[in-house]
Structure 1
Amino acid sequence: MEKKGSSKMNIAIIHPDLGIGGAERLIVDAAMELASLGHKVHIFTSHHDKNRCFEETLSGVFDITVYGAFLPRHIFYRLHAVCAYLRCMFVALCLLFMWPSFDIILADQVSVVVPILKLKKSAKVVFYCHFPDLLLAQRTTILRRIYRKPIDFIEEITTGFC
């Protein structure tokens, strides 16, 4: 991906939780490769435990900024999706208001941040979703179906912004 007149870009990546997992491995590998090509890469997340992460996230090859770690990841081991949405929206708002410009912003997993990021007119927004939460979540009880209805609706609408 080259920008006209310049081969080096300023790239932001938003990932919900930079721990150890397949999605995190993909993001870390992408960041490492982009940095190796000379691009300036900055990962924004709501959680990065330096004791439980991929070694490359500690190497300093790319910057990592954590916003919203104070926000809960769940409420009484429930409402994980709502908490993830709120945490990611907080990260996106911090990026929007506190960081001047990026050429590209890659949003990973949570589409609710895409409309927020599109307010940053100077950047192209790319959304990566390996598999939508809408298709993963179980709706085994009436309470779960009620809980998932607005989340699924928001995911459908915001994925449409991509």
Structure 2
Amino acid sequence: MADCVLVNSKFTAGIFNETFKSLSSVNPKVLYPIPNFKALDQPLETSADIIPPNKTTIFLSINRYERKKNLNLAVESFGMLQKKLGNNKGVHLIMAGGYDERVLENKEHYLELMELVHKLGLEDHVTFLRSFSDSDKRTLLSNCTCLLYTPDKEHFGIVPVEAMYMQCPVIAVKSGGPLETIEDGTTGFLCPPEPERFVEAMEKFISDKSLRKKMGSAGRKRVEERFSFGTFTKELNSVIEKVHTGSSSNSSVLLFTLGLALLINICFAVLYVCIF
């Protein structure tokens, strides 16, 4: 009975059509979520506890400590990279993510990742952060060389967009939302979920120190053009106008639609923190 169905990516629209086959007449509209720009624009606060000193290249992973986020890929890729580099002390990996002691999977997976790091002999090269603040996230994205985004078939993924806004390039799995947010070879790299392919992309940032700045600038520009508040507002307004034109001109319908639009906007602006 809905006048319009909104989804957060073209990938999700495809999943919608595959799942709700009886709704073949429904064509979902894509409305991309946007980062909380106000939070990302706050001044940086340096923290010696977060950024390890004397490191020339720092890779960063931001995701909840859940197995479906495929965090093993980041650790295994980094381990393979270090093996190729001969245990380079200037290269580091930071694993940061949402963590709740009350959630059994968070606790279990955190320990599994710690065990994997120990198995690969990476204890001196990997830092784990749990339930960090917005200020910490700004510091991480501003100081790290590149973000490793490992979920496969993620419906959208707000973290890569936040990273690009903070001028941090992204290496992501070539599926789902990142196919729509990351411009391969320009704002980062899209790779199959295989350590060998991730390592190939990671090596580029080690061999070419200027790549971080070049891709970072391109990423910021892409977010401002495609995932800004202005773009979100324009797209949402277009949806509202089409729904209103195609339905009754009753003012109550318009007011309800505008109220729903405002609610969606607030959810994207405030609840995005739950994504990672």
TM-score by length of 2: 0.32
Rg larger in structure: 2
- Larger % of helix: which? 2
Please give the TM-score of this superposition, normalised by the length of structure 1: 0.50
